[in-house]
Amino acid sequence: MTQAPDIRLSGDFHHAGRPLFSGLDFTVAAGGWTCLLGPSGVGKSTILRLIAGLDTGGSFSGKIAAGDGEPVAGRIAFMAQSDLLAPWLDVFGNVTLGARLRGEASDRTRARTLIEQVGLAEHAEKRPASLSGGMRQRVALARVLMEDRPIVLLDEPFAALDARTRAEMQELAFETLKGRTVLLVTHDPAEAVRLGDHIFILSEEGLAGIEAPALPSIREVDAPETLAMQARLFRALRGGVAT
């Protein structure tokens, strides 16, 4: 993996002839976790898809650039809320899918190491239908790691999991994605507080940065600083002031 750069997105986005956001200036900090919260429909996932180079169904006028001056394209791995596993492939096949789609030889040793790292060594030959939701997301995470990209975009990947599995996946993702530039779009203030080195709220009024707790990530869910920050974010998301 090459050194992880920061990513800056600035500009305007229109959908169906209407502005979704204007004059936005958003930086995803290098080598850490940036969490983006906000109500539905304000453009959080659109920002993520713009950075990823995916279709948005709208029109963007502006600039997306990496801080090191190198192209953003080709240096991104993406993990969605749905695991997007191919149902006809087993765990090993799904983890190595990217290389196969590019017509490249898969590093089988690395794939098996990653499958073991996410706790699925005994399930490598199983297909998605026989895996739990948490296990499927572990496969998706291993596939992201297999791509070995310096920039990782996460679009609510743990939202559909139960509370215990979600916490476990947060911890696993945090540990395995160390050193990468990570942007996490989430609706969950608790998740943002646990993981975020940098926290932003996007609303109809624009983008606001919220100072993260002084505790290092990943933060304990019951730490006083964590609980206080969650309350601040809830107030901000409901239109109050995050004081």
Give per-residue pLDDT as tens, 171-222: 989 999 999 999 999 989 999 999 999 999 998 888 999 888 888 888 888 8
pLDDT at 240: 54
Q: Where do the DSSP E strands lie in the chain? A: 7-15, 18-28, 33-37, 59-66, 76-79, 151-155, 181-185, 198-203, 206-210
Give per-residue pLDDT as tens, 120-165: 999 999 999 999 999 999 999 999 999 999 999 999 998 888 888 8
Q: Is 119 left (phi over 0), alpha (psi -120 to 50) or beta?
A: left
Q: How far apart are CA 171 and CA 176, in angstroms?
A: 9
46: helix, strand or coil: helix
Backbone angles phi, psi at 33, to 5 degrees: -100, 125
Q: How far apart are CA 122 and CA 135, in angstroms?
A: 11
pLDDT at 238: 79
Q: How far apart are CA 231 and CA 32, in angstroms?
A: 23
Which amino acid is residue 230, in one-letter code?
Q
Q: Is the pTM of this model over 0.85?
A: yes
